[in-house]
Amino acid sequence: MQGRAISRAFVVAGVAALVSVVLGVWARPAVSASARPKAGAVEDAQGSVAKDERWLAHALDDALCTAVGPQQREALTGRLAKVALAWAACGRGEAFGTPVQLLHAMRGCKYLALLEAGDEDDKALAQWLLGHRVARRIVFRALDDVPKPGKSLKALRELQAKEPDRLAEYPNLAAAFVTSQPRRFYKPQPEPATTLESFVYFTDPKRKFRYDLKKMPFELSRYVADTRLSIPERTWAARRYLRVRNLGTAYFHVQYDYDYFRKREPKKISKVDYTMQNLAKVGGVCIDQAYYASEACKAVGVPSAIVYGRGVSGISHAWFTYFQMNAAGTSASWKGGAGRYASNLYFTGSVDDPATGEKILDSELVLVGSAALLPLRRREEAEAATALARLVAEACVDGNAPADLAPLRELASDYEKRLAPRPKAPPLDASWVQAKGPLDAPLAESLIRLAVKRNLAYAPAWELITELRKSDRLSAGSLDRFLGILIEKTAQAFPELSCRMVLQLAPTLADEARREKAYRRALGVYGRRPDLKGKILMAMAADCVTAGQNAKAVTIYQTAATQCLAVPDIVLPAAARAEELLVADNKQAAAMRLYYTLFRRTAKEKDTAEEIRKQTPHYQLGTRLAEMLREAGKDAAAEKITAGL
């Protein structure tokens, strides 16, 4: 029952809570070729700019388009930062269109400078982006997520050179492609498609897809764009699965290879080419099932990912998840049930993040989906508020900083001379350029609150809170308020993220009693999840070790090990740390009793090859117990344990 509850949690109410917005703009099942997007289909941030600030948005766009070269871009970035601080000091409230434009211009300076320092083709791409406002807005946001933007810009240059019209028509999908790393897999794909070939496949107007790939946000499109499956295999999969209602069944269309699992005989798929057709014909194990199903989803334009995890047995497993919306576009979720067997209690799993290439929790994937479903304006305002909060925090690191409105007034003066006389230029209204207060910690805090209000799932805002608290630039009282918001608003929808952030924030409290209170509060909120309970207990024990309270730490580690037996990633390290502390205190017998208790309460995995059994807590606990018995001179008892493994 508990495992089924966890699986349902993965579908997550948080997505449903955030899809009260209109989803039909891109979510309609597209079983026929999608029509061209209507003018204005992509939301324009300019519309959210306050009327008396439209001149400023116009000036910012002009500054971005007229600066040329890395040196001018660098100078403009510094100037924009000062303008942003001046705007913040004017206390303009929650009309956040201007900071969105400021952040866009600062991003543009960063990425256009990379291109303008390159060859003629790079410079041509920079000019193309400046001439395509919607595309550059999307691309610049996407580039912020990758560790090597230069590599992504190189890929974008290829798309722009070969398919400029498709790039302009599918900016989100293009951004997804150039900021996604090809899927990594243990088996090489025969004749993998190139980035360009794959992009052309998904933008072919003659092909049919489940969703409108013109409008799908790039954050989700990345889980389509990371495929490099050959075009013939992809076409085969699309024909087979385009009209299959429940795509989860694809996982079970690959027959399980039990001879490999039980006897370690060579996989049947290892004797033929690793293709979708052959997997469907000869079968494979869980990783092959997950690969097949996720590639089938991508072939029909459905975001999907392989999920890796360890359940109660401790044996590594793979299932898959895919993004699904109903026909009306009123509800959506990442479906994670196919292959995620409830009896094995797979509390969490990990997926490959296409943008960074790093592993992320499947709950973070849910977060990506939830945030991507928010209106673009809200997402951008959360990003801008966080960036502005960081600028304010840096400006007042040594105390309150006086407001400097000169950069904003200089921009207004320049606008009046050069831009205001032009046809259709917004009228200049700088009457609001008046300081409402200094740049201080309360201002930074208010900006972070606004970011969280706009997008509760925006992790960088919470990370900034942690950073400010660690440097003592956020009071303990303010932290308590943010913890209250975090727990109240995210504990049910995003328990893994919520718990992780609590565990990052709690150690920043200097007072020992206050820290323990925060941990106890977290146990009361998240303690029904064995995996989260274990993480909290491990953090509490580590805190005790730091404070020199080793005896208390041992008790907590033992509690974590014995109460979280269903979570191998908790029971094994908890037992090891308890043992380390007990041995240091010359209590080897107590450590041995702990291992014996844990070993006896775990079950041997039957009908599996020894190589696979070695992954289980039962095997690893038994192995360590046998070693301890031999060290104590109890060879016969050790041999009995080993023989039963």
- How far apart, in Å, do the first and last CA atoms of the chain sit? 29
Q: Determine the distance from the C-alpha atom of residue 597 to the mean position of all C-alpha atoms in its chain, rounded to a whole number.
A: 38
The answer to whether 496 touches 507, Cβ cutoff 8 Å, is: no
Q: Domain for residue 396, yes or no?
A: no
The whole-number pLDDT of residue 442 equals: 92
The answer to whether the CB of 96 falls within 8 A of the CB of 129 is no
What whole-number distance in Å separates Cα of residue 537 and Cα of residue 556?
6
Within-domain flag for 527: no
180 and 112 inside one domain: yes
Residue that is written with structure tokens 């001179």 in the block: 633
The number of folded domains in the chain is: 3
Q: What pLDDT shows up at residue 426?
A: 94
Residues 190 and 259 both lie in one domain: no
**Phi and psi for 403 in degrees, rounded to 5?**
-70, 135
The reply to whether 42 and 172 lie within a common domain is yes
Residue 492, in any domain of the structure:
no
The reported pLDDT for the residue numbered 23 is 41
How far is C-alpha 618 from the chain's CA centre? 33
Please name which of 345, 324, 311 lies closest in space to residue 249, comparing C-alpha atoms.
324
Distance of alpha carbon 432 from alpha carbon 455, whole angstroms: 27
- The order of strands in the sheet holding 316-325 is 332-335, 316-325, 304-310, 350-352, 359-361
Which domain range does residue 242 map to?
1-21+219-373
pLDDT for 397:
86
Q: Are residues 14 and 47 in the same domain?
A: no
Q: Are residues 369 and 345 in the same domain?
A: yes
Helix segments in 179-269, DSSP class H: 195-202, 218-225, 231-241, 258-263
The answer to whether position 468 is within a domain reads no
What pLDDT is stored for residue 58 in this prediction?
95
Same domain, 250 and 358: yes
What is the reported pTM? Answer: 0.86
Distance CA 301, CA 159 (A): 19
- Specify if 173 maps to a domain: yes
Q: Where are the alpha helices (DSSP H) in 170-285?
A: 171-178, 195-202, 218-225, 231-241, 258-263, 276-282
The pLDDT value recorded for residue 329 is 60
pLDDT lower than 70: segments of the chain: 1-47, 327-331
In the chain, the amino acid numbered 164 is P
Q: Are residues 231 and 83 part of one domain?
A: no
Q: Same domain, yes or no, for 641 and 548?
A: yes
Q: What is the 3-state secondary structure (H, E, C) of 537-551?
A: HHHHHHHHHHCCCHH
Q: Is residue 122 part of a domain?
A: yes
CA dist., res. 228 & res. 460, Å (int)? 30
